[in-house]
Structure 1
Amino acid sequence: MKRITVLCWNLERNGGGSHIARFRAHERLRSLNPHLVLRQEMWSSDADGHRIMYELESILGMRGWLGPKSSTAIFADQDVFEPVRNWPDTGPMWVQPPTALTLRFRPAGVESMPLAVVSYHLNYASSGNRVLESEWLTTWADKKWETPGGQTFTTPALLGGDSNSFATPGTPKDPPLPELSEIQDRPHRLHRSYVGPDGRRRMDTRPDEILRTAGLRDVARYWATAPGGDAAAVARTVNGCPTHGPDARIDRIYATTDLLAALLDVDVIEVPLTESDHHIVRVDLDGDVLTDILKRHISAPHPAA
């Protein structure tokens, strides 16, 4: 089976209202031959009868699902992924609600376990709200699915988006946490930090810690240290600038541990700052291994056996 490519991108202001900018950006995505695209900043895609959303589906050649408030979206190659349910109620605390779907991987067959797939955008200004949003994200790592044979399993999950916060330090080549004083923009200091138990302000890594505590793995961090992996997986996803501090890895993809065996590669594709203030995160999965993972329950004994 061919490799399965997942892309995650926060396209700044959805191209800033420019049809040409949106077209070029999504032509860039299409050139990478994706099977899943997790998008953020989908502003105005629901206006005029979802005109922009249909435009992007046409450019990508994929079906799209737009989340509440036109903030996030998921696009899927329908020859590879089939929707089996969506999750319109994503929780009460979201400023920019995620798009959440349960998708079946068609090559694995109709009896296989589907995947929970989420495109998220954590709050920009409030570290406290990011904590609540991250805790709610973990619920998609605990979704149940009943097979035609009556067995119930927890589905694997893949979540990607703009975390507006930092990864926990410790991975070689990962951009280091900035010093608070390195961030010249005073409101941005507040946005990217929180007050710890000792009363000192710390850079915000809590969303990453919450997701990892729930059993989700930052796939770039995993790939950077895995045998045969590549430290380039933890490259920056946003460029440093005088006001907002140094390079950072704000955009991340998380997966439940059962999917890690299917990883083939994780990298970051840099795009010009004239196009977006975020780069593209790419994850490649082995389709044959993914099929085996999702079909594993078929050979499992029935609970009554």
Structure 2
Amino acid sequence: MIEELLRVRKALEDGDIEKALKIANGIQDNYWRSYALKWIAQELVPINPERARKIAGSIPITSLKSDALLYLSYEFSKRERFKDAVESAKLIPDSYTKKKALRRISNAIAEALKSKNILEVKLSDLGLEEADVELLKPLPEGVKYEDGKFLIDANIVKTTEDFKNEVVDVTERPEEVKSPDVGELDFENISPEDLPEPLKSSFLEHMALDYLEKGEVDKAVEILKIIGKGGPLPRLLFFIGRNQDIERVIRPIDKVLLAYRILLLLPREDAIPIVEHIFEDVKKANPQKFSRILKFLSFELLEEGKKIGNKELIAKSKELFERAQRHSSSFSMNLLA
């Protein structure tokens, strides 16, 4: 399986889309075929939008299909290919992700017109139709639709900086996104004791992360002792040797980030057992999900190993994938027993 993915990546690097597609369609595992098709669809964005959309829409794993189509809608919006962006968004199976994509498109239209000092534009000039406008509603502040035209109020439409802050890019790292509940609190005027749980623990963890940024590690450690468990705080302290208990990391995204970092830094014989321990609760509660997590980490290691030419990471990736396959097979056999 790993070898087939490497062949897909190599074909794309060589610019041979047809070869990459042929290899991808021959991959039996739906999860990995989905990843390969996602790569191909992304590669086709500037070359053949319609085909990119068709391939993305054929991805068998729903979550990866949504991710691929969201990526397409974002990229088409950046290129001001708004019809292609809308058509891609319409194919997204997940309703939340679809709304996110459509909001991004409507914001992109407003920003594109404002940047060109255009105060009105015909729908046909953007390649859009009446039905597309209904999907894009509610329109951004300062934009309205009347008589087949978008009308722009230049004094109300957001600035470029506001626009960037409003939309979270799909490539943004999760640890860089702050909790809106905590971020809006005034640290100087609020005591943690005044807050109910879980906001109190979130507030304290936010304070601890600020201490870490300032180099005040001991204060961050003291806060971890108070809250017991958390997300980024115990994960970051683990890597500077100030938290030896990985079970203190409870937020799913931080578990994944912790596991990936361990796989990058530690030798195979140490890293893989630790990673399996991190997701022990998932393994018991949802064995199929556990197998998918291992496969996801395997894919990420493969990407990194290929990018930097690290054979050890590729070997780790292969072993992790094989473990995931064995676990998946074992789970299937237990169901049949």
- Judge same fold: TM > 0.5, yes or no: no
Relative contact order, higher structure (CA 8 A, sep 6+):
1
Under a length normalisation based on structure 1, what TM-score does the superposition of the two structures give?
Answer: 0.30
Larger proportion of strand = 1
For the pair shown, the structure with the greater C-alpha radius of gyration is 2
Larger proportion of helix = 2
